[in-house]
C-alpha cells in the first residue's frame, strides 16, 4: 500500500533575515538609482567645467591663464609680506614671550587633562565592551547556523 507522505526531511521555516542583515525595500533600490544618477551628473558637470577651463580660446591662450597669473602674483606678495610679518612677530615674542609664558595656568591645564584622560579611558572601555558583546553575539549566531547546516546535510 502506497502512502502519500513525502521523504523524511526537517520542516522548513520561512527565511527570516538575520538581525545584522539589512532588509531591502523598493525605496532602497530607487534611492541607489538616484545616487548613481546624481554621481553621473556631477561627474558630467565637473568634466565639462574642466574642459572649458583648459581649452584654448581664439587667441591661443587658455581661459584659466589670467587666473593662474593672478594667483602667482598674490603668492609672491604673500611671501614677501609673510617674511616681514614673521620678523615683526618674532621681535614681539622675544620681548613679551617670557611674561606671557608665566601667565599660562599650567597646573589647571594639567588637572583638566587628567580628568579628560580618565573620561576618554572610560569611554574607550565601554566601546570595547560593546564591540566584544557584538562580536560574541555574531559568533554565537554563526556557530548556530553552522550547526543547523551540518544537521541539515547530515554531517
Task: Give the residue extent of every domain in the chain.
Answer: 32-55+63-104, 105-155
Per-residue H/E/C for the chain: CCCCCCCCCCCCCCCCCCCCCCCCCHHHHHHHHHHHHHHHHHHHHHHHHHHHHHCCCCCCCCCCHHHHHHHHHHHHHHHHHHHHHHHHHHHHHHHHHHHHHHHCCHHHHHHHHHHHHHHHHHHHHHHHHHHHHHHHHHHHHHHHHHHHHHHHHCC
φ/ψ of residue 23, rounded to 5: -80, 130
pLDDT at 112: 84
* Residue 6 confidence (pLDDT) above 80: no
Write out pLDDT tens, residues 55-95: 877 777 777 778 888 888 989 888 888 888 888 988 988 88
Q: Residue 17: which pLDDT band, with cuts at 50, 70 and 90?
A: low
Q: Residue 113: which pLDDT band, with cuts at 50, 70 and 90?
A: confident
Among 8-22, 60-74, 121-135, the range scoring the smallest mean pLDDT is 8-22
Amino acid at each position: 500500500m502506497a502512502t502519500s507522505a513525502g521523504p523524511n526531511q526537517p520542516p522548513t521555516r520561512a527565511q527570516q533575515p538575520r538581525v545584522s542583515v539589512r532588509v531591502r525595500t523598493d525605496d532602497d533600490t530607487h534611492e541607489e538609482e538616484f545616487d548613481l544618477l546624481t554621481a553621473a551628473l556631477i561627474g558630467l558637470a565637473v568634466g565639462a567645467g574642466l574642459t572649458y577651463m583648459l581649452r584654448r580660446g581664439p587667441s591661443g591662450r587658455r581661459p584659466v591663464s589670467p587666473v593662474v597669473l593672478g594667483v602667482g602674483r598674490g603668492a609672491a606678495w604673500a611671501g614677501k609680506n609673510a617674511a616681514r610679518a614673521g620678523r615683526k612677530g618674532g621681535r614681539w615674542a622675544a620681548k613679551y614671550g617670557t611674561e606671557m609664558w608665566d601667565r599660562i595656568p599650567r597646573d589647571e591645564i594639567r588637572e583638566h587633562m587628567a580628568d579628560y584622560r580618565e573620561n576618554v579611558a572610560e569611554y574607550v572601555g565601554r566601546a570595547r565592551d560593546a564591540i566584544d558583546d557584538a562580536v560574541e553575539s555574531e559568533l554565537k549566531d554563526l556557530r548556530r547556523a553552522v550547526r543547523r547546516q551540518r544537521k541539515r546535510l547530515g554531517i
